[in-house]
Structure 1
Amino acid sequence: MKLILRSLLKIKRTSKVILAVLVICLVVRLLPYFAPIRAADIAQNQLAMQFSDRNGLPLGTLLTRDQEHTSVVPLNQVSPQFIHAILAAEDGSFYHHGALDMKAIIRASKEAIHAKRIVSGASTITMQLARMLDPVPRSFSGKMSEIWLSWRLVAGMNKDEILSAYINRLPMGGNIYGVEAAAQTYFSIPASELNLAQASLLAAIPNNPTYFNPYQHWERLKQRQKYVLNRMVQEKYIIGAIATRTSAEKVVFQFSQRGITAAPHFLFWLANQIPPTPLEKGGLIPPFLRGVRGDQSIIRTTINRPLQQFVEAQVQQVISSLTTNNVHDAAALVIDNHTGEVLAYVGSPDYFNEAKLGRNDGVQALRQPGSTLKPFVYELALEKGLIRPNTILADVPAHYAIPGAKLYSPTDYTESFLGPVRVRIALANSLNVPAVRVLEKVGVVTFLERLHQLGFEHLNQTPEHYGLGLTLGSGEVSLWELARAYVTMARLGEATPLVSTFSDSPIQNPSCAESAPKVRPKIQNSTTIWQLITNMLSDNHARATAFGVDSVLNLPFPVAVKTGTSSNFRDTWTVGFTTDYTVATWVGNFNGEPMRQVSGVTGAAPLWNRIMLHLHEHQEPAGFPPPEGLVQLPVCAISGLRPTLDCTSVVQEYFYPEDKSNYEGENQFNLPPEYDEWLAKQQQLNFTSTNLRILSPHNGDLFLVYPGEEEKQKLEFKLTGNKSAPVEWWLNGEKLDTNSANSLFWNLRPGKWTLEARSGEMTDKVSFQVELANLKPTRRGFSISTTTSK
């Protein structure tokens, strides 16, 4: 009896546990009905955007956030062939089970246990839709979350609503989502007109859109299509003969511009500037479904479509002409100086050419700007009074010790030096050494602050990171930032945001807030200094040394322009402006490969030239105003001072009124010792110096000579400066017999020597030493003399 009672109690307890479990399961299963997701909650009514140019001409449609191309159609406007194909491929029993397919789960479990690996999945279409709405990690907790969301979908939607939401979100390759977008993109037909061959191919893609990419993996896609057709036979949608015939049918996937007429990079960039809606911030809507407005109002942009299409064509033509120089990519930007409106925006030669990285946006990409930042360091130095318009800068070899690195020795594109140059010549010819010397005066910290004020927000490293190379392009900037800074220059220091849409559009120019550089209020004379920089950049004669008289930079109307070439010829830039427009161009390679024999003037400048000429085809721009309050005076081209009788080249240069008294005063021109190395290498000296100076040898030099070869080793004695009388050379107190005024050659002889040059009352003296070299084996071609600088 006790045993029976004990058994009854045990059964009773077990029943309670079972009942409790059943109650819990029932409650859990009913909970989704208290939080159902209805079709309206996930309606894709916020994704379509239509863009027009400034005059109402269409630019593109069917664009959503993150560059996704999505189009929504109701279920009754989708070909039955596709509906049957996707059901057969993904969930043949969709209309016969709930959120979960228990038969499929049991089957998949058995197969996994038998094979000791996952053989087939058991995800239903409802579960796949849940994953699309809220992607979660492939973990136990993630799977539970997916099931919970699936139950909520079933609680609030019928089967047709779930299937409709599913096929409009299917990933169809690249940035294409939904069957309608895929049909339009790949076949230029609506989803309602898909035939069986097209439908079965499209139904094959969502399983793995990258692996079954129709453009890159056609054979894989065909194999997957056969699987889809076989499943359709099994589900009795078609018979085997039709499946075989359909599999052999030829289907052509076309390359489509996906509803875009012009400016694809601009449209995708603009779409990404739009702030997310509160619903999107909540996390239910995935990024590729987020959009702008439910009313699908047309967004009127500032783009000028005819100009945009012209610039796009020129980009392709210029790149085509440079292919043999290993040049494949380019970008261009056109801005209205008066309003800051973006008139043309080209990010690459062909956005839709994925094989050539066409989606890369060269307008927003960060690249080294070469010499295009130089005008801003000269402007800052003039503003702070560190240099004057007639200042002479030394374009001679220079070496800077950088902590933790080798000596920094800036050189120019031609690897030659011009010696003493005026500021105008240094800037117009883009000379590197003078620019570094000016930055040294200004200070890297101060210059970096000014660049930040001009809107170069991506120059976010420390001043030590950039060093003196900042003025030569050691940082990375975008073409957008560069164009914006030059618009500020064209507006004489007055910053303005770059505008992309008009106020009558549903989007209120989303880029304005980030585009406006925070330039401080103008200081005294700042307008004049910007005018002076513009005057130098528009001086065709000043830049003739580096670019020639008839380069592509010389246009038949006033234009200020600057080129740039990054290290190893990976990027070329040309940025310039008239009183009306600023044009910025970049030519290079997105993959970072160096170009061959291409610089700023041969790479980006021809593109810039074509755009500028087109912009002013019907009306020439007004001239640039001369610098306010400055006076032009004649100066010697080499000294920057009032010309003397022996000056061979006289030019006009601007002066501040307060500098006029200095101009009228002493005009003796003496080059400091930093020029000695450069002077010693000049074949002919085209300038005069007041002081007599021995250029070679240097004081303290040491020379080595091999015994017996004294007659073969000669040292040049070289002199510069004005001579008040015939020159006499004295060596260790003995006068040398020579007829040469500026130089002579002397056979090296061991000893300590004092060399003196005399011309009337002027004299200069240096000491040097010659020693016998240690007779050790030396490879031919090695130098047998060494020098130590002063």
Structure 2
Amino acid sequence: MKLILRSLLKLKRTSKVILAVLVICLVVRLLPYFAPIRAADIAQNQLAMQFSDRNGLPLGTLLTRDQEHTSVVPLNQVSPQFIHAILAAEDGSFYYHGALDMKAIIRASKEAIHAKRIVSGASTITMQLARMLDPVPRSVSGKLSEIWLSWRLVAGMNKDEILSAYINRLPMGGNIYGVEAAAQTYFSIPANELNLAQASLLAAIPNNPTYFNPYQHWERLKQRQKYVLNRMVQEKYISGAIAARTSTEKVVFQSRQQGIIAAPHFLFWLANQIPSTSLEKGVLIPPFLRGVRGDQSVIRTTINRPLQQFVEAQVQQVISSLAANNVHDAAALVIDNHTGEILAYVGSPDYFNEAKLGRNDGVQALRQPGSTLKPFVYELALEKGLIRPNTILADLPAHYAIPGAKLYSPTDYTESFLGPVRVRIALANSLNVPAVRVLEKVGVETFLERLHQLGFEHLNQTPEYYGLGLTLGSGEVSLWELARAYLTMARLGEATPLVSTFSDSPIQNPKSKIQNSTTIWQLITNMLSDNHARATAFGVDSVLNLPFPVAVKTGTSSNFRDTWTVGFTTNYTVATWVGNFNGEPMRQVSGVTGAAPLWNRIMLHLHEHQEPADFPPPEGLVQLPVCAISGLRPTPDCTSVVQEYFYPEDKIAYEGQNQFNLPPEYDEWLAKQQQLNFTSTNLRILSPHHGDLFLVYPGEEEKQKLEFKLVGNKSAPVEWWLNGEKLDINSANALFWNLRPGKWTLEARSGEMTDKVSFQVELASIKPTRRGFSINTTTSK
């Protein structure tokens, strides 16, 4: 009896233990349903971006911000061939078991015990998805964590949702994830167009993406494909004959550079413009940026792919031709003037060449713009009435005192001066000194404000920081900013943002008018398109002269580190930069020999089939003949007459202007001219200057001579008078006089015209060290 009671008690305790174990197991199994993982919880927010050009041609696909190339597609947009292949290869009974496949676990355990090693795995697709979501060490604790996560997935998602999440995360080699990204990268087709051969090859990769890399281990991948096809036969998806035929079918994997076909710099720049908030909740891109190609959402850009590829090729060719001049980099931007749309964007000769800094974006990089800002200072000065179209500017040596710095003395790279020049000539030939003089009239602060209005946002230092050198490129700007400013000029002062994508519904781009009248912009355009006006600096047949109307400006930064050419027709604006990303100076390269040839090729290509319309003449202005040098109404003895624009209110003053008298600041320049190509109505002594002091050495009087030189119209033979005595020398414009100590008054007479200067000659106390050496000291006037 006691034995029976003891047995009953033991059975009761065992039953309680079993019941407790069962309850614990039930609770553990039910717990996932209290913390289910739903499809929305694991939605892939960081997706790859796919781009097309304006006509739907693909430009490429960019990786997500964490550098994973991922494209998400619904299950119904994936080829059934791939779904069957991946199910057969990874989990044939996926739809018939839960998170775990107990039959597979038992089978794998028996094989491991018999072989004393792991022969096959028992991971289900659900377990693999759990491992993708939360990678854990391959240990007992890691496996338990994986099972727990798998149960939570099953608790919150149905089979199709789990499979969809799985195939969109499959590792497909390198940083490519998901069947859609793999199909696009390897075959340039969407996942719903995969055939059996392509699908079985892709399904073979996830088992070991590195080992089965299609570019490096093709034979291994083909062997794995045969396994996948055999499994599909076993699962009755295909017949053995189809499997055999498919395994011998030729499949070509496309070699593509990170999935980018064209415009890599543009695509990366554009991707950075899309805020990260737009990628929340599984939304790939904002709806207004989406275009449609088939069933696939694509960002439709304004790029014209054939034009983009042409410009890319020209950039490489121009750089190759300049290699001997230590030129390695270039960039270009092409814009539609009517819409502001970007048609081509090239940031460097080769984005994928890291050794040559190819990833640097020359369109957005900040560099010194050289003379490309000059048109805007002239426009502002004309707008404010500080200069007129026929104003004469002095291209003469000038010096400016800058506190705490060396004396600023602007010069052109030829280090020569043209003397009196019209505004048109100064701008068209990119003369430095006249531009600085005009900026001095305008004021650096005022000019800087205008540049900010034009969109030069990186010129953010104080006016004192830039100084008068601002008009010569002392600041730093980008090619993007320059192109946008010249687009404003092409649109006659209407500032328009550059457009990079199309929208489903038109977006009203904010526009603003830089100034109310379009006349000044038309006048600047007229000057920049004047081939004859720029001939002095660039010649009559330079690469800037095209067979149709085009306004253009070049620029070269200090030490020849950057060359620029920006110009426009009535249809397009083209901006080019040639230089070196590492800052090395180029050899014998300027704006017209560096960036201009590239600009020339692009402009000719754009207008190959249709020439642009003429620029409209400046509204409300009248053209009148002027003397080419004086800018005034021509006199009978003017050697060159040209047409120049005048404001109607200046016409009366024009009628009364017929005398051209250069102020004294031109004397030194005039004295250096071998041949004077203009006349002056007044007689003027150019040498010596009034107040000059000369030193003569004892015994050297016969060897030291002073040139008497004058200029002007002569109504009668010239007479020279020195201290009231007529010199017995017959000379039209100049003569040489032996220096003698004393105070002298020199007078030149020609009929009724006369000019007089005083100068002094003193004996020097120190003899020259070399025979024939003399000292000539001139005091300031």
Q: TM-score range by the shorter chain?
A: 0.7 to 0.9
1:736 aligns with 2:727: yes
Structure 1 SS opposite 2:31: helix
Q: 1:90 to 1:677 in 2, by over 3 A?
A: farther
Match of 2:629 in 1: 638
Indicate if the aligned counterparts of 1:47 and 1:290 stay in contact, CA closer than 8 A: no
Q: CA deviation at 1:627?
A: 1.2
Indicate if the aligned counterparts of 1:302 and 1:499 stay in contact, CA closer than 8 A: yes
Q: 1:192 to 1:647 in 2, by over 3 A?
A: closer
Q: RMSD in angstroms over aligned alpha carbons?
A: 8.9
Choose 410-419 or 522-531, whichever is displaced more.
Answer: 522-531
Indicate if the aligned counterparts of 1:715 and 1:745 stay in contact, CA closer than 8 A: yes
Indicate if the aligned counterparts of 2:288 and 2:505 stay in contact, CA closer than 8 A: no
Q: 1:231 to 1:305 in 2, by over 3 A?
A: closer
Q: CA deviation at 1:646?
A: 0.3
Q: CA deviation at 1:157?
A: 13
Q: 1:406 to 1:4 in 2, by over 3 A?
A: farther
CA deviation vs aligned residue, 1:529-565 (integer Å, no higher than 9, x gap) = 1111111111111111111111111111111111111
> Aligned partners of 2:111 and 2:401: how far apart in 1?
70
Indicate if the aligned counterparts of 2:429 and 2:537 stay in contact, CA closer than 8 A: yes
CA deviation vs aligned residue, 1:130-156 (integer Å, no higher than 9, x gap) = 999999999999999999999999999
Q: CA deviation at 1:747?
A: 2.6
Choose 12-21 or 618-627, whichever is displaced more.
Answer: 12-21
> Aligned partners of 1:287 and 1:277: how far apart in 2?
13
Q: 1:249 to 1:695 in 2, by over 3 A?
A: farther
Q: CA deviation at 1:608?
A: 0.8
1:259 aligns with 2:250: no
Structure 1 SS opposite 2:160: helix
Q: 1:74 to 1:431 in 2, by over 3 A?
A: same
Choose 331-340 or 723-732, whichever is displaced more.
Answer: 723-732
Q: CA deviation at 1:504?
A: 2.2
Indicate if the aligned counterparts of 1:335 and 1:343 stay in contact, CA closer than 8 A: yes
Q: CA deviation at 1:309?
A: 0.8
CA deviation vs aligned residue, 1:88-121 (integer Å, no higher than 9, x gap) = 9999999999999999999999999999999999
Q: 1:444 to 1:62 in 2, by over 3 A?
A: closer
Indicate if the aligned counterparts of 2:291 and 2:300 stay in contact, CA closer than 8 A: no
Indicate if the aligned counterparts of 1:64 and 1:291 stay in contact, CA closer than 8 A: no
Q: 1:505 to 1:350 in 2, by over 3 A?
A: farther
Indicate if the aligned counterparts of 2:668 and 2:686 stay in contact, CA closer than 8 A: yes
Indicate if the aligned counterparts of 1:64 and 1:290 stay in contact, CA closer than 8 A: no
Q: 1:147 to 1:769 in 2, by over 3 A?
A: farther
Choose 127-136 or 64-73, whichever is displaced more.
Answer: 127-136
Q: 1:507 to 1:763 in 2, by over 3 A?
A: closer
Indicate if the aligned counterparts of 2:43 and 2:281 stay in contact, CA closer than 8 A: no
Indicate if the aligned counterparts of 1:65 and 1:271 stay in contact, CA closer than 8 A: no
Q: CA deviation at 1:715?
A: 2.1
Q: 1:340 to 1:160 in 2, by over 3 A?
A: closer
> Aligned partners of 1:770 and 1:651: how far apart in 2?
45
Match of 1:609 in 2: 600
Indicate if the aligned counterparts of 1:198 and 1:251 stay in contact, CA closer than 8 A: yes
Q: 1:20 to 1:338 in 2, by over 3 A?
A: farther
Structure 2: runs of 5+ lacking an equivalent: none
Q: 1:45 to 1:112 in 2, by over 3 A?
A: same
Structure 1 SS opposite 2:553: strand
Structure 1 SS opposite 2:495: coil
Q: CA deviation at 1:502?
A: 0.8
Q: CA deviation at 1:649?
A: 0.5
Indicate if the aligned counterparts of 2:686 and 2:709 stay in contact, CA closer than 8 A: yes
Q: CA deviation at 1:612?
A: 0.8
Indicate if the aligned counterparts of 1:637 and 1:650 stay in contact, CA closer than 8 A: yes
Q: CA deviation at 1:590?
A: 0.8
> Aligned partners of 2:505 and 2:357: how far apart in 1?
32
Indicate if the aligned counterparts of 2:454 and 2:514 stay in contact, CA closer than 8 A: no
Match of 1:7 in 2: 7
Structure 2 SS opposite 1:297: strand
CA deviation vs aligned residue, 1:653-708 (integer Å, no higher than 9, x gap) = 11111111111113111111221221111111111222222222222323334433
> Aligned partners of 2:252 and 2:566: how far apart in 1?
43
Q: 1:113 to 1:288 in 2, by over 3 A?
A: farther
Indicate if the aligned counterparts of 1:133 and 1:286 stay in contact, CA closer than 8 A: no
> Aligned partners of 2:764 and 2:9: how far apart in 1?
114
Match of 1:459 in 2: 459
Match of 1:512 in 2: none
> Aligned partners of 1:679 and 1:251: how far apart in 2?
79
Structure 1 SS opposite 2:575: strand
Q: 1:756 to 1:359 in 2, by over 3 A?
A: same
Q: CA deviation at 1:444?
A: 1.1
Choose 70-79 or 774-783, whichever is displaced more.
Answer: 70-79
Q: 1:551 to 1:135 in 2, by over 3 A?
A: farther
Indicate if the aligned counterparts of 1:396 and 1:675 stay in contact, CA closer than 8 A: yes
Structure 1: runs of 5+ lacking an equivalent: 510-519
Indicate if the aligned counterparts of 1:79 and 1:192 stay in contact, CA closer than 8 A: yes
> Aligned partners of 2:95 and 2:570: how far apart in 1?
68
Q: CA deviation at 1:769?
A: 3.0
Structure 2 SS opposite 1:408: coil
> Aligned partners of 1:692 and 1:7: how far apart in 2?
143
Indicate if the aligned counterparts of 1:132 and 1:286 stay in contact, CA closer than 8 A: no
CA deviation vs aligned residue, 1:137-192 (integer Å, no higher than 9, x gap) = 99999999999999999999999999999999999999989999899989999999
Structure 2 SS opposite 1:299: strand
Q: 1:522 to 1:222 in 2, by over 3 A?
A: same
Q: CA deviation at 1:573?
A: 0.9
Structure 2 SS opposite 1:66: coil
Q: 1:267 to 1:646 in 2, by over 3 A?
A: same
Aligned length: 780
Map of 1:205-224 to 2, 5 A cutoff? none
The percent of aligned pairs where both chains have the same amino acid is 95
> Aligned partners of 1:638 and 1:658: how far apart in 2?
22
Choose 20-29 or 395-404, whichever is displaced more.
Answer: 20-29
Indicate if the aligned counterparts of 1:65 and 1:290 stay in contact, CA closer than 8 A: no
Indicate if the aligned counterparts of 1:168 and 1:180 stay in contact, CA closer than 8 A: yes
> Aligned partners of 1:523 and 1:7: how far apart in 2?
103
Indicate if the aligned counterparts of 2:577 and 2:595 stay in contact, CA closer than 8 A: yes
Q: CA deviation at 1:751?
A: 3.5
Q: CA deviation at 1:430?
A: 1.0
1:589 aligns with 2:587: no
Larger-Rg structure: 2
- Provide the TM-score with structure 2 as the length reference: 0.73
Indicate if the aligned counterparts of 1:368 and 1:477 stay in contact, CA closer than 8 A: yes
Choose 397-406 or 334-343, whichever is displaced more.
Answer: 397-406
Q: CA deviation at 1:405?
A: 1.3
Choose 214-223 or 2-11, whichever is displaced more.
Answer: 2-11
Indicate if the aligned counterparts of 2:288 and 2:503 stay in contact, CA closer than 8 A: no
Q: 1:72 to 1:501 in 2, by over 3 A?
A: closer
Match of 2:779 in 1: 788
Structure 2 SS opposite 1:110: helix
CA deviation vs aligned residue, 1:201-240 (integer Å, no higher than 9, x gap) = 9999999999999999999999999999999999999999
Indicate if the aligned counterparts of 2:172 and 2:179 stay in contact, CA closer than 8 A: yes
Choose 553-562 or 11-20, whichever is displaced more.
Answer: 11-20
Q: 1:389 to 1:317 in 2, by over 3 A?
A: same
> Aligned partners of 1:524 and 1:730: how far apart in 2?
57
Choose 745-754 or 419-428, whichever is displaced more.
Answer: 745-754
Structure 1 SS opposite 2:12: helix
Indicate if the aligned counterparts of 1:576 and 1:582 stay in contact, CA closer than 8 A: yes
Q: CA deviation at 1:300?
A: 0.8
> Aligned partners of 1:616 and 1:302: how far apart in 2?
19
> Aligned partners of 1:466 and 1:114: how far apart in 2?
83
Choose 208-217 or 36-45, whichever is displaced more.
Answer: 208-217
CA deviation vs aligned residue, 1:20-41 (integer Å, no higher than 9, x gap) = 9999999999999999998864
Q: CA deviation at 1:616?
A: 0.9
Indicate if the aligned counterparts of 1:426 and 1:434 stay in contact, CA closer than 8 A: yes
Indicate if the aligned counterparts of 2:334 and 2:573 stay in contact, CA closer than 8 A: yes
Structure 2 SS opposite 1:756: strand
Indicate if the aligned counterparts of 2:522 and 2:617 stay in contact, CA closer than 8 A: yes
CA deviation vs aligned residue, 1:49-79 (integer Å, no higher than 9, x gap) = 1111111111111433488755689999999
Match of 1:516 in 2: none
Q: 1:201 to 1:768 in 2, by over 3 A?
A: farther
Indicate if the aligned counterparts of 1:299 and 1:505 stay in contact, CA closer than 8 A: no
Indicate if the aligned counterparts of 1:100 and 1:124 stay in contact, CA closer than 8 A: yes
